[in-house]
Amino acid sequence: MKKQPQITEKTRQTFIEVFCELYSQKPIEKISVQEIANKSGYNRSTFYQYFTDIYELLDSVENDLLNDMKKELANQVLSLHTFQDTLYCLDKREHLLVLNALLGDYGSARFIKRLKEEITLGQLELNVPRNHALTPYFTEFYLTTSLSLFRLWIQRQKDLSSEQFFKLVENLYSSGITPYFKE
């Protein structure tokens, strides 16, 4: 007899949540299938019904997040701040556990690279000279700075409201840090 889809999805989600909790605390090499299964309340054979190994689980977590982001972006009119629009899409309660893991101290540079690649850069490049030798540097500066600030905000448990954070990023790009220093 086949299991009910909602039970199957709940089990899969439990493995994902436990993995993300562990991955935010230690490197992936130190996480075992047995540890994930034990903390999830299932046995190893149940884990293997969903994932072949921890790396497939990581791929699944990354793909799910990137697919959610793409769906959200498809439903929006993008501004000239494409990357900020993307980060805004990721600013959802249900993404917090995953973001803490993927952007945390033990997260992978591969995910950050994938995230950058998934973002539509066409509109971002409108803000910089086209076919200029420095364009890749401008683009990388913008992407890396935005992502780094977002990562810090997540690590600080979103100590600013979403509105405050995104306004801060916008202000930093337009005016720099000088307005925040009072003489």
Q: How many C-beta atoms surround the C-beta of residue 117 within 10 A?
A: 9
How many Å apart are CA 117 and CA 18, to the nearest integer?
27
Mean pLDDT within 26-43? 96
How many Å apart are CA 107 and CA 101, to the nearest integer?
6
**Cβ distance 80 to 115 under 8 Å?**
no
How many Å apart are CA 54 and CA 80, to the nearest integer?
38
Residue 128 CB contacts under 8 Å (≥ 6 apart), including other chains: 134, 135, 138, 139
**Residue that the structure tokens 């299938």 belong to:** 33
Poorest-pLDDT segment among 5-19, 121-135, 158-172? 121-135
Poorest-pLDDT segment among 78-87, 128-137, 147-156? 78-87
E strand or H helix at 128:
none
Residue 126 main-chain phi, psi, to 5 deg: -65, -25
Tell me the pLDDT of the chain averaged across its residues: 83
Poorest-pLDDT segment among 9-23, 37-51, 108-122? 108-122
- Confidence grade of residue 99 (pLDDT, cut at 50, 70, 90): confident
**Cβ distance 55 to 23 under 8 Å?**
no
Predicted pLDDT of residue 183: 53
